[in-house]
Amino acid sequence: MARAPNPNSCKPKSCTKKRKSSVAFGDNNVLDNESPVEHKKRIIHRDVERQRRQEMAALYQSLRSLVPDEYLQGKRSISDHMHGTVKYVRHMKRKVDELISKRDELQELTKPGCSFSILTEFTVSLNKTSVRVQSSTTGMQIILKTTLRGGLPLSKFLSVLNGEGLSVISCVSTNANEGQLHVMESEVDQGRSFDQTKLQKRLKELLYNL
């Protein structure tokens, strides 16, 4: 005789492991056996974490925009980008240290009562006119060789030197080989700074415009 089914027994498919259910709680879900306090803490933690990730993403994009592409080219992961950024920062630090060192040297050279000497001797030549700048016992010696006709006027040359903070304390001029040779001794004006690179650039422009 057939056995009557037990109405309280569960079907095999329904006897699976009971999953956590949730009930509506405002705009969020409340887990089973979760108190209101625990639910509130979980929601706050989730929102704080979401805000932190958004801020980190914004800061990362801002940092990435400041780094030249050559340091990030071919790199895809964030860690690779961070390594590229570190290399860029180290490179810029070296450049800044070099500029600070150069600035300190120039400041020492331009102090009142300090003997002046240039950092690197150089020569600028163009259109049969040449200018050589070198160290001397008084500070700096400038030798100007120019042609008699169409050459560089000495007054214009002295104006450039004065504009760069240099005063000529002596000048000896002689005629030689259809040209003129001017040997000048100069020093930095008190209270003014001297930029050797800028002087070299100004002299090139001066000769180019002859």
User: What local confidence, expressed as pLDDT, does residue 22 receive?
Assistant: 44
pTM of the full predicted structure? 0.42
3-state SS of 10-59?
A: CCHHHCCCCCCCEEEECCEEEECCCCHHHHHHHHHHHHHHHHHHHHHHHH
Q: Which two tokens stand for residue 86?
A: 């570190």
CATH number of 40-106: 4.10.280
Residue type, 97: D
Question: What is 115-209's CATH topology?
Answer: Alpha-Beta Plaits (3.30.70)
Distance CA 159, CA 50 (A): 65
Q: What is the mean pLDDT of each run of 10 residues along the chain (210 residues)?
A: 52 46 50 79 90 88 84 79 88 89 69 50 81 78 82 85 86 83 85 77 82
CA angle at 124 for the pair 120 and 127, rounded to the nearest 5°: 175
Indicate the domain borders of the chain: 40-106, 115-209
DSSP string, 69-106: GGGTTT--SHHHHHHHHHHHHHHHHHHHHHHHHHHHHH
